[in-house]
Amino acid sequence: MKKLMVNKQEKETIDEAIAHWRETGLLDDVAAERLGESYEVKGFDWKRLAQYAFWVALSCVVLAFLSLFADQLVLRWIERLYDTPDVVICVFCFVLASVFYAWGFRNKRKHPDKTFSNEALMAVGVFATAAFIGYLGKIIDKGSGHFSLLFLASVVVYGILSVKLSSRLIWVFTLAAFGIWFATETAYHSNWGFRFWGMNYPLRFTLFGALLTAFSVFWQHRIRPIGQFRQLTYIIGLTYLMTALWLLSIFGNYSDLDMWSQVRQWHIFYWGLLSSAVSLGLAWYGLKKHDNVAREFGIVFLIINIYTRFFEYLWDNINRAVFFLLLALSFWYIGRWAERIWRGEIK
């Protein structure tokens, strides 16, 4: 019989579960022994290595592209390329994107288990698509300065591609482009200022993240083509929401750094209270509903908020030795608390 390969932490969890079921009578000795023989610790996490290797490969492609600009020979070649008509470059990027999408989709159909290599091909297609849309914008530009429409176009293109190719990676780029479109569109309508309808960027993205999260929870599953990406939208929506709330707790609703620097942090403490309350609410909801994503976001950002306030209110007001001693004690307490949860002493 082929054995299930698990890592060391997973084996410990399964061992504890089997021992618990054995003690409570849910499993007899024979069944427990058979289950214990059905899995073993894998020697090396090759899946994670593959994932990291493809990430490094994509990063190296980007670095290789950037390093070209440091080469004088290449710079002279780029100067000649600068005279190439935008239409030619636009068509080239379109063809390049089509090739990599087709290649990735073909590999996905033939080798669905090669997740990371397939997504890496899709990622190259995504970058080529971005270049295509950018040059298309230059071709049709009439000097209006409303380039946020290009990001909206990329949202539509990436959204369609993510559905047609069933690609989670492209859906991530769809939501990232959606956020960039929101930022640039609101900036355009505020004459490229930092305030839109009286809101700075952190406050705007707090609302944006809340709406995106609500969409993933209440409506996305009803839209069949994108229902498969519901969990991903939920995670990215919470990322937008909690990061924006944290920035809001630091900068408040100020759009002028000079004005903000003259304000004491306790004058905007209510934003910190809001951020901490939302974090606490997420953690409570996640624990009650067994929602691991909400629980982890809530706990992580609650800790971030606590330490942010710690630095804001105590850094300039107490002795440095006392400050770092308190910091060490707090981290020790968090570590001890996490250890007790891991050992099952806290349910």
Listed by start position, the domains of the chain span 84-191, 194-316
User: Is 50 exceeded by the pLDDT of residue 45?
Assistant: yes
With bands split at pLDDT 50, 70 and 90, how would you rate the model's confidence at 44?
Answer: very low
The C-alpha angle 208, 304, 214, rounded to 5 degrees, equals 25
42-50: average pLDDT? 52
Average pLDDT, the chain: 76
Pair 162, 122: CB distance under 8 Å:
no
**pLDDT at position 250 over 60:** yes
pLDDT for the residue numbered 124: 80
pLDDT at 36 over 80: no
Tokens read off for 69: 């600009």
Tens of pLDDT, residues 216-240 = 999 988 888 888 899 999 999 999 9
| Structure confidence by residue, pLDDT tens digits, 149-194 | 888 888 888 888 888 888 888 898 899 989 989 988 888 887 777 7
What pLDDT sits at residue 178?
92
Q: Strand runs (DSSP E) across 118-220, as ranges? A: none
CA distance 100 to 58: 14
Identify the residue with better confidence: 221 or 46. 221
Q: If you average pLDDT over residues 309-314, what whole number do you get?
A: 69
Q: How far is CA 129 from CA 223, 265, 328, in A?
A: 25, 44, 48
* pLDDT tens by residue, 10-22: 777 877 888 878 8
Least confident span in 38-47, 238-247, 260-269: 38-47
User: CA-CA distances (angstroms) from residue 239 to 187, 251, 279, 297, 333?
Assistant: 21, 18, 12, 8, 26
Report, as an integer, the average pLDDT of 65-87. Answer: 58
Q: Which two tokens stand for residue 238?
A: 């919470």
Strand partners, 5: 40
Residue by residue, DSSP assigns 75-144 as HHHHHHHTTS-HHHHHHHHHHHHHHHHHHHHHHHHH-TT-HHHHHHHHHHHHHHHHHHHHHHHHHH--S-
pLDDT mean over 298-316: 76
88-130: pLDDT as tens digits: 777 888 888 888 888 877 877 777 766 667 777 777 888 888 8
